[in-house]
């Protein structure tokens, strides 16, 4: 059907309308919405030819795709001791813990480990989960079994989904399979393997790693201790700290003793000088006066003679002897001076001063010898201290290294025991992860096939509309008179339909 149109011309004498703007070349006129829709309606059969095959292809694919049943379970995840930061060395940031969402993300990533999937596949059986892959594995005995195992892990990961809602403590796990009972069984086995593997990862290797590290540190500690002992032995030292302390104390004691000896020496020299001055002013000899007792003895002899006469005769020998003594004493008294006997001898004071001066001289000699010995000992102690000061930097370096390794070994040993205790407690109880809802066999299959059909229908509709639009935009004629008026700006007087 075609449409012919007539345009109106202006009458004679009337003012001319402004001419339409000239069109350059053969520019295609732009169609309106009504013209486009009309052309799309005329191309409906072509659009159906595009839409129907795509829809049928989607229906066929949906019928060929087997239905899958999705089993689900939920785990309640709470913050446990394994997430509390406990540094091995030092106390920096000790006690810090992550947010709940971070804990859920960490648990989700841990659950997606291929190790857990591999254990589940071995326990449930590859022939039950994926029979086709099991048959391929039996046929591939020429070294291609590893590829098949990877394919099984990929298929398992594709059927497994782990998610968590924001600001929630629930970890949601689902597993899809064609057999609903097997889906629930596999998911429950997956949860059990996940909890077991989680204990091994978070607690099992901690003590072993600390033990290995402690062994390495103890080996380095033994080497450092041997190097320190060899260094002391080469320098004839058994204990540097005790030797340095002893040398410092000996030097201090010698200095103190030297000061005391110097003071004693000055004192002895002063005393010797004072004694010399006293000896110079003291005479060596003095007069000694002895008082006589001859008259008293004469009286006693006379009394004794009278007593003898009472018993003996005057001519007896005893009386004659005493008479002779009386005569001798009377003769001595007759010739003796009136003041008695005078004697000259050494001065006792001078002798005492001389003896004390000799003692001080000997003391001065002893003190000078002691001072010389102390000076020698002090020099030796100073040389020993200087030698120890030269050995100190290397000794301190070796000692710091040994002490640091010893401290690290002690810290690792303490942490190892703590980790072992934590692992033993964790193996008995996992209280921060609990199964909130166990997996049960689903009664309805998933909507995957229906989604495939809808996706193919939408894709076919899009392709059909695209083909219709291409067809409409490729037509150069106008479908209606209104389209001419909108496009060319000329009034349409009439339209004629031609069948």
In a domain, 228, yes or no: no
Residues 229, 79: Cα–Cα separation, whole Å: 49
Q: What is the pLDDT of residue 87?
A: 57
Check whether residue 263 and residue 362 sit in a common domain.
yes
CATH classification at residue 349: 1.10.287
Check whether residue 194 and residue 176 sit in a common domain.
yes
End-to-end CA distance of the chain: 5
Check whether residue 139 and residue 168 sit in a common domain.
yes
Domain-ending residue, one of 355, 386, 407: 407
In a domain, 225, yes or no: no
Check whether residue 108 and residue 189 sit in a common domain.
yes
Under DSSP, the state recorded for 315 is T
Q: What is the pLDDT of residue 2?
A: 40
Check whether residue 377 and residue 415 sit in a common domain.
no
Q: What is the pLDDT of residue 21?
A: 45
Q: What is the pLDDT of residue 184?
A: 85
Q: What is the pLDDT of residue 12?
A: 44
Check whether residue 45 and residue 142 sit in a common domain.
no
Residues 160, 262: Cα–Cα separation, whole Å: 97
Domain-ending residue, one of 418, 437, 456: 437
Check whether residue 51 and residue 107 sit in a common domain.
no
Residue 4: name the closest of 477, 486, 490 by CA.
477
In a domain, 294, yes or no: yes
Give the residues across from 344 on adjacent strands.
287
In a domain, 345, yes or no: yes
Residues 261, 362: Cα–Cα separation, whole Å: 14
In a domain, 16, yes or no: no
Give the domain extent around 478: 2-9+28-64+447-498
Under DSSP, the state recorded for 498 is E
Q: What share of the chain is helix, strand, coil (3-state, %, to 5)?
A: 65, 10, 25
In a domain, 20, yes or no: no
In a domain, 236, yes or no: no
Measuring CA to CA, how many Å separate 158 from each of 154, 174, 175, 464?
Answer: 6, 11, 9, 33
Check whether residue 252 and residue 212 sit in a common domain.
no
Residues 255, 270: Cα–Cα separation, whole Å: 23
| E strand intervals along 352-431 | none
Q: What is the pLDDT of residue 426?
A: 56
In a domain, 494, yes or no: yes
- Our count of domains for the chain comes to 3
**Digits of tens for pLDDT over the chain (499 positions)?**
344 444 444 444 444 444 444 443 344 455 556 666 766 776 777 777 777 888 777 777 666 666 677 888 888 877 665 655 555 555 555 545 556 777 778 788 888 888 888 888 888 888 888 887 777 766 655 544 444 578 888 888 888 888 887 777 788 888 888 788 888 888 888 888 888 887 777 665 556 667 777 788 888 888 888 888 888 888 888 888 888 898 899 999 999 998 999 999 899 888 888 888 888 888 887 766 555 566 778 788 888 888 888 787 888 888 888 888 888 878 877 776 555 555 667 778 888 888 888 888 899 999 899 999 999 998 999 998 998 888 889 988 988 888 888 888 888 787 777 777 766 665 554 556 777 777 777 766 665 566 777 887 888 888 878 877 776 666 655 556 566 666 666 676 666 665 4
Sign of CA dihedral 272, 277, 278, 280: positive
Q: What is the pLDDT of residue 1?
A: 39
Check whether residue 47 and residue 91 sit in a common domain.
no
Is 173 exposed, middle or buried (CB count within 10 Å of its CB: 0-12, 13-18, 19+)?
Answer: buried
Residues 236, 230: Cα–Cα separation, whole Å: 10
Check whether residue 37 and residue 112 sit in a common domain.
no
Specify the 3-state DSSP secondary structure of 424.
helix
| E strand intervals along 197-312 | 285-290
Q: What is the pLDDT of residue 249?
A: 92
Check whether residue 383 and residue 491 sit in a common domain.
no
Measuring CA to CA, how many Å separate 33 from each of 6, 121, 221?
Answer: 23, 60, 88
Domain-ending residue, one of 419, 437, 455: 437
Check whether residue 205 and residue 73 sit in a common domain.
yes
């Amino acid at each position: 059907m075609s449409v012919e149109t007539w345009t109106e011309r202006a009458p004679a004498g009337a003012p001319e309308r402004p001419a339409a703007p000239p069109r350059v070349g053969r520019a295609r006129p732009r169609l309106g919405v009504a013209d486009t829709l009309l052309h799309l309606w005329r191309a409906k059969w072509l659009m159906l030819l595009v839409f129907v095959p795509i829809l049928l292809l989607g229906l066929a694919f949906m019928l060929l795709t087997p239905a899958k049943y999705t089993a689900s379970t939920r785990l309640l995840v709470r913050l446990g001791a394994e997430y509390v930061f406990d540094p091995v060395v030092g106390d920096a940031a000790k006690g810090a813990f992550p947010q709940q969402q971070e804990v859920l993300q960490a648990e989700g990533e841990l659950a997606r480990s291929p190790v857990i999937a591999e254990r589940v596949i071995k326990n449930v059986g590859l022939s039950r989960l994926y029979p086709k892959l099991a048959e391929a594995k039996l046929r591939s005995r020429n070294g291609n079994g590893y590829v098949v195992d990877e394919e099984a892990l990929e298929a398992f990961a594709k059927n497994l989904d782990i998610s968590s809602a924001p600001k929630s403590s629930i970890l949601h796990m689902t597993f899809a399979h064609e057999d609903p009972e097997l889906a629930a069984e596999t998911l429950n086995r997956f949860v059990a393997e996940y909890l077991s593997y989680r204990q091994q990862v978070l607690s099992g290797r901690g003590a072993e790693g600390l033990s290995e590290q402690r062994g390495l540190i103890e080996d380095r500690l033994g080497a450092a201790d041997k190097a320190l002992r060899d260094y002391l032995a080469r320098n004839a030292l058994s204990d540097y700290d005790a030797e340095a302390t002893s040398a410092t104390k000996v030097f201090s004691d010698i200095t103190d003793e030297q000061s005391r000896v110097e003071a004693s020496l000055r004192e002895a020299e002063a005393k010797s000088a004072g004694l010399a001055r006293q000896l110079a002013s003291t005479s060596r000899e003095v007069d000694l006066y002895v008082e006589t007792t001859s008259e008293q003895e004469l009286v006693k002899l006379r009394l004794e003679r009278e007593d003898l006469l009472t018993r003996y005769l005057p001519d007896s020998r005893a009386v004659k002897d005493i008479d002779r003594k009386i005569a001798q004493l009377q003769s001595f008294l007759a010739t003796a001076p009136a003041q008695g006997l005078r004697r000259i001898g050494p001065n006792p004071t001078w002798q005492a001063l001389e003896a004390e001066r000799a003692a001080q001289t000997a003391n001065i000699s002893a003190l000078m010898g002691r001072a010389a010995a102390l000076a020698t000992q002090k020099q030796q102690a100073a040389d020993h201290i200087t030698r120890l000061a030269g050995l100190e930097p290397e000794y301190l370096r070796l000692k710091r290294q040994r002490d640091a390794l010893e401290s690290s070994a002690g810290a690792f040993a303490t942490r190892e025991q703590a980790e072992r205790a934590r692992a033993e407690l964790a193996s008995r109880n996992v209280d921060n992860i609990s199964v909130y809802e166990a997996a049960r066999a689903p009664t309805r299959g998933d909507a995957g096939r229906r989604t495939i059909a809808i996706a193919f229908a939408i894709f076919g509709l899009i392709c059909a509309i695209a083909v219709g639009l291409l067809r409409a935009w490729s037509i150069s004629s106008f479908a209606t008179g209104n389209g001419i008026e909108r496009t060319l700006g000329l009034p349409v007087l009439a339209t004629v339909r031609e069948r």
